[in-house]
Amino acid sequence: MAPPTGPRGGGNRNSKPTARTSRGGVAKHRAAARTDRDGDVSMGGPTPGSNPPTGPSGRGGHGRGAGRGASRGSRTSSRLAQNLKNYIGEGGSKHAKTTLKILGIKNSKAASNPDGGVKSLLQFIERKADKHKHIVLGRGTLEGDYVWVKANKDDVASIMHLNGYSYAGAPITIEETTEPFPTGSKFSKEAADTRQKLLALLAKRYNAEQKLLDLSALGTDDILGNLGAIGSQSLAEKSFRAIIHIAGEQFKTVEEKKEGIQSVSLASNEIGDVDQVFTLAYSLPHLRRLDMSNNKLDTLSKISKWKHEFRYLEELYLVGNPLTSLTGYATEITQWFPCLQVLDGNVVRTPQEAAEALKAMTPQPLPQLPSNLRDGENNVASIFLRSFFQLYDHDRVALATQFYDAESLVSLSATPEPGCDADWKPYMKYSRNIQKLGGSRNPAVVQRLFTGASLIAEMWRSLPATRHATVDQPELWIIDCHTFPHLADPSGHGFAMGLMINVHGQFEEADTAEELYGTRTFSRSFILGPSKAGAPHPYRVLSDQITLHKWTPRAAGTASVPVVAAAPAAPIALAAPAVAGVPVIDDATRVQLIQELSRRTGMNAQYSELCLSGTANWNFDLALQSFEEQRANLPHTAFTATA
Amino acid sequence: MTYVDDTNAQCAADAAAKFVSWYYNQINEGKGISNSYVTNNETYKNAGHPPADICVNGQVCPTPEDWEKLLAQQREAPKATTDKKHVNYVVDTYDAHVINADYRFGATQNLIDIHGVNDGVRMMIMVNVSGTVYFGVSKRSNEEYSVKQHFNDVFILVPNWDTLGKQSKYGKKFLISSQTYRAY
């Protein structure tokens, strides 16, 4: 048949019901066909019993809104119907969309329409593609010579049927494509233009060497002047936000941005409240230097919105603002920015103090106290541990027979860091990490629990050889232990006391089979209880759990095993007794030093004195240094109450 | 001869799993944990059980509330800021041993009669937990922490007779009678 040259007569239109019960779930509730005044929501479909048309001709017979000439509906309401179908899950949601490219609109008469003829072309296709089915296309986009549109995959065949038809006096070519749908320009031409100009402004004002973004005196800037961004306040604020946003966009990652823009100058911008430039804090939270001089900030409240921002700000210039003459201005501002070291050219903090102040704003670990040994009066724990590790290193079978019996339980768990399982090979097959095993249904939960001295000894034999430091080197160990009641008495009657020992330390390891040598950090918990009659020792190990984790070298600071004082009773490792007769310093100086150290560190007078009189020998700097080193080990009672 | 059999080992593993997931979720969210100690359980108190032994980084906490206070102190930065930062415990591993399968302190004779030593109920369990604690993280991720530490928490759990008597699936089945905590 000849390609249609335009909209056909009414008969064809009438033959096409807009939607039917067979597809339109919405209509299912309706008993009878309905057509509203315009005929476009004729989704009611046929009366019960009448089936959707199947025949090709459809002349007259099916059109419910017959003769009204309106059954094709407006695009809007058809789309609404389609959306509803999609929403209730019967429509296009299960159909994949296909992208179509349509060529030919440029030569058509419709090209002179306000939208380039896109709308009327799509309407044409929707109308013509299928006589029996109302097709709904997506929103079309005119890109170059092509109109891009998305259609349901099911409809593509019918639409392709129109390939070669002529529309508004010009033949159209329709092709399927897998090319990405043109998203169109996000910006209008003007916006893109403005963006280019702002980029030029940034290029002019960014100093890569100093990593400085100089946005001072924007009021006199030619580019902004030309953009007309200066006259009004709101326009100026908008352009500032745009500038900051675009500046941020130039860096791919947060790290790059942090590195790329370290300083910003907003000097001489007549800023009366930082609210106007607040976004700076969000875009550049890691800013280190900020120049706000010669603006119009007149009270602290005008800058207080930045109070909790710029945690890493080191230098701030506010000279030339009225607020600098306020009393207490510098103190207040210094408090707001923990890292601030230079305010208006004056040093307000040393780098150390800045680090301290920043630290004070983040949660800190609890103080670390030395070993807590509460094992009764007989030093059972230290005696046991001494023999235990000695034997574990040299004769594990003897160890098992001496301290373990048929009821003793042993298990170990290893926690390799991701990707390092190979380093843990000797241990992994025994690792009873219940979390990793996924609970009690895993047979390994039972299999990897070693019960009885002989099984334990056997397992131990297959583990690499170890060397533990002697318990006489208390700095290498943390030992916490305490007694507890209500173990079963081995005689079968009544309760017995138990001793729980938790040991944290490290050992050298030599795995000759795998040729692995190294050091591991471990935590090991023992439950000691009374032995059965006839055992070599009055107590036995009821339970022994060892957890192995990655070794952290002790030089690496806080993450390592902490230093433990030799005597558990000593509250603080550095608290050596005051050396009598340190000649040069008189009492008044000492009091001063103690006060100063107390002020700087927050320790109370007693601990400050201990710190100064210890190894520091009244050298203030040494004392401060030693405080820093031992800080984590100090009990909270060492500090003056701050609450 | 021995009363340590599979049932007990499995039940102890399950009890540990429930306990560990509950406990660290509570402290990560800053919720209370003091009710899970024998110290605050009437049945144990009336039976004359000593308060739970809680030792945190070498410091003895006389009551569970003192430990809660330490956790709160640890959670809050000394200077409160608007973007409050958090402390997050992430458990890497835990293990559990039954150390007394015939635990009967504070139990009624009825409970002792019903639950045999191989039933995985009247158990005293040692649970050993290790993991990482992150300081100064947002609630969503552990990426931007200021400090991280390894932690090791060792508990002794005892049956909660109050919930054992009932068939309820709610309520803690075990209570803490001892806790030794170290983070470094």
Question: Given an 8 Å threshold on Cβ–Cβ distance, is A308 in contact with B82?
Answer: yes
Average pLDDT, chain A: 75
Question: Given an 8 Å threshold on Cβ–Cβ distance, is B135 in contact with A363?
Answer: yes
Question: Is pLDDT larger for residue A220 or for residue A80?
Answer: A220
Q: Domain A372-559 belongs to what topology?
A: Nuclear Transport Factor 2; Chain: A, (3.10.450)
Q: Has the ipTM of the complex gone over 0.90?
A: yes
Q: Is residue B55 within 8 Å of B61, Cβ to Cβ?
A: yes
Q: pLDDT value at position A135?
A: 82
Average pLDDT value for residue range B118-132: 92
CATH class of segment(s) A587-638: mainly alpha
A439 touches chain B (CB under 8 A): yes
Query: Scanning the structure block, which residue is given the tokens 């007078």?
Result: A605
Q: CA dihedral in degrees (A513, A515, A519, A524; nearest 10)?
A: -10
| Percent of chain A with pLDDT strictly greater than 90 | 18
Question: Given an 8 Å threshold on Cβ–Cβ distance, is A366 in contact with B101?
Answer: no
Q: pLDDT value at position B176?
A: 96
Q: pLDDT value at position A563?
A: 36
Cα-flanking dihedrals φ and ψ of residue B14, to 5°? -65, -45
User: Which of A364, A367, A413 has the CB atom closest to B147's CB atom?
Assistant: A364
Strands A516-530, B147-159: pairing kind? unpaired
* Alpha-carbon gap, residue A64 to A564, rounded angstroms: 92
**Which among A273-277, A469-473, B154-158 has the top mean pLDDT?**
B154-158
Q: Who's near B124: CB < 8 A, 6+ residues apart? A: A486, A487, B98, B99, B100, B101, B103, B156, B157, B158, B159, B177
| Percent of chain A with pLDDT strictly greater than 70 | 75
Closest by CA to A465, choosing from A502, A410, A523, A520, is: A520
pLDDT digits (tens, 9 = 90+) for A434-464: 998 888 888 898 999 999 999 999 999 999 8
Question: Is pLDDT larger for residue A493 or for residue B71?
Answer: B71
Where is average pLDDT lowest: A54-58, A203-207, A565-569, B167-171?
Answer: A565-569
Question: Given an 8 Å threshold on Cβ–Cβ distance, is B6 in contact with A500?
Answer: no
| Cα–Cα–Cα angle for A619, A625, A626, rounded to 5 degrees | 85
Q: Which residues of B touch A479 (CB under 8 A)?
A: none
Size of chain A, expressed as the number of residues it contains: 643
Count contacts between A and B (CB, < 8 Å): 207
Task: Please say if the pLDDT value at position B7 is more than 70.
Answer: yes
A131 touches chain B (CB under 8 A): no
**Which among A529-538, A611-620, B49-58, B111-120 has the top mean pLDDT?**
B49-58
A304 touches chain B (CB under 8 A): no
pLDDT digits (tens, 9 = 90+) for A297-344: 999 888 888 876 787 899 999 999 999 988 888 988 988 888 899 999
Q: pLDDT value at position A588?
A: 64
Q: Please report, for chain A, the start and end positions of each structural domain, with discontinuous segments joined by +.
A: 1-69, 95-184, 190-359, 372-559, 587-638
Query: Scanning the structure block, which residue is given the tokens 């009244």?
Result: A618
Q: pLDDT value at position B46?
A: 93
Query: Scanning the structure block, which residue is given the tokens 């046991």?
Result: A384
Question: Is pLDDT larger for residue A466 or for residue A9?
Answer: A466
Give A503's strand partners. Answer: A479, A524
* Alpha-carbon gap, residue A449 to A452, rounded angstroms: 10
Question: Is pLDDT larger for residue A254 or for residue A31?
Answer: A254
Q: pLDDT value at position A384?
A: 92
Hey, what domains does chain B have and what are their CATH numbers? 6-183 (3.10.450.50)
Where is average pLDDT lowest: A34-43, A313-322, B134-143, B150-159?
Answer: A34-43
pLDDT band, residue A357 (cuts 50/70/90): confident
Question: Given an 8 Å threshold on Cβ–Cβ distance, is B93 in contact with A482?
Answer: no
Q: pLDDT value at position B19?
A: 94
Q: pLDDT value at position A25?
A: 38
Question: Given an 8 Å threshold on Cβ–Cβ distance, is B146 in contact with A359?
Answer: yes
Q: pLDDT value at position A359?
A: 75
Q: pLDDT value at position A81?
A: 63
Question: Given an 8 Å threshold on Cβ–Cβ distance, is B14 in contact with A542?
Answer: no
Q: pLDDT value at position A7?
A: 43
Query: Scanning the structure block, which residue is given the tokens 């030029």?
Result: A200
Search chain B and give the residue with CA nearest A372.
B58
Q: pLDDT value at position A552?
A: 66
Strands of B18-123 (E only): list them: 53-56, 59-61, 86-100
* Alpha-carbon gap, residue B111 to A334, rounded angstroms: 65
Question: Given an 8 Å threshold on Cβ–Cβ distance, is B59 in contact with A451?
Answer: no
Question: Is pLDDT larger for residue A577 or for residue A411?
Answer: A411
If 0-12 CB within 10 Å is exposed, 13-18 middle and 19+ buried, where does residue A222 land? exposed
Number of H helices, E strands in chain A: 20, 21
Q: pLDDT value at position A51?
A: 44
Task: Please say if the pLDDT value at position A523 is more than 90.
Answer: yes
Question: In Å, how far are A243, A470, A472, A568 from A382, measured between CA atoms?
Answer: 68, 11, 10, 12
Residue B2: how many other CB atoms lie within 10 Å: 11
Q: pLDDT value at position A641?
A: 59
Q: pLDDT value at position A231?
A: 65
* Alpha-carbon gap, residue A341 to A353, rounded angstroms: 9
Residues 549-588 of A with CB under 8 A from B: 549, 552, 558-562
Q: pLDDT value at position B3?
A: 40
Q: Domain A95-184 belongs to what topology?
A: Alpha-Beta Plaits (3.30.70)
Question: Is pLDDT larger for residue A469 or for residue B86?
Answer: A469
Where is average pLDDT lowest: A17-21, A351-355, A511-515, B81-85?
Answer: A17-21
Question: Is pLDDT larger for residue B93 or for residue A356?
Answer: B93
Task: Please say if the pLDDT value at position A176 is more than 70.
Answer: yes
Question: Is pLDDT larger for residue A99 or for residue A448?
Answer: A448
pLDDT digits (tens, 9 = 90+) for A216-263: 888 788 777 777 766 677 777 878 888 888 888 888 777 788 888 899
Average pLDDT value for residue range B150-168: 86
Question: Given an 8 Å threshold on Cβ–Cβ distance, is A549 in contact with B87?
Answer: no
* Alpha-carbon gap, residue B46 to A345, rounded angstroms: 68
Average pLDDT value for residue range A525-530: 94
Q: Which residues of A touch B125 (CB under 8 A)?
A: none
Where is average pLDDT lowest: A162-171, A339-348, A353-362, B85-94?
Answer: A353-362
Question: Is pLDDT larger for residue A68 or for residue B77?
Answer: B77
Helix axes A118-128, A75-87, angle to 10 degrees: 60
Question: In Å, how far are A83, A121, A563 from B47, measured between CA atoms?
Answer: 69, 88, 41
Task: Please say if the pLDDT value at position A578 is more than 50.
Answer: no
Convert A68-79 to b/e letters by CB count within 10 Å (16 or more is b): bebbbbebebbb
Average pLDDT, chain B: 85
CATH number of A190-359: 3.80.10.10
Question: Given an 8 Å threshold on Cβ–Cβ distance, is A440 in contact with B10?
Answer: yes
Where is average pLDDT lowest: A69-78, A213-222, A478-487?
Answer: A69-78
Average pLDDT value for residue range A525-544: 92
Q: pLDDT value at position A449?
A: 92
Taking the CA of residue A304 and the nearest CA in chain B, the distance in Å comes to 13
Question: Given an 8 Å threshold on Cβ–Cβ distance, is B81 in contact with A361?
Answer: yes
Search chain A and give the residue with CA nearest B52.
A484
Search chain B and give the residue with CA nearest A497.
B100
A360 touches chain B (CB under 8 A): yes
Q: pLDDT value at position A58?
A: 38
Cα-flanking dihedrals φ and ψ of residue A91, to 5°? -95, -135
Taking the CA of residue B63 and the nearest CA in chain A, the distance in Å comes to 16
If 0-12 CB within 10 Å is exposed, 13-18 middle and 19+ buried, where does residue A545 land? buried
Task: Please say if the pLDDT value at position A74 is more than 80.
Answer: no
Q: Which residues of A touch B10 (CB under 8 A)?
A: 440, 445-446
* Alpha-carbon gap, residue A589 to A571, rounded angstroms: 26
- Answering whether pTM is above 0.80, one says no
Closest by CA to A84, choosing from A76, B66, B141, A430, is: A76
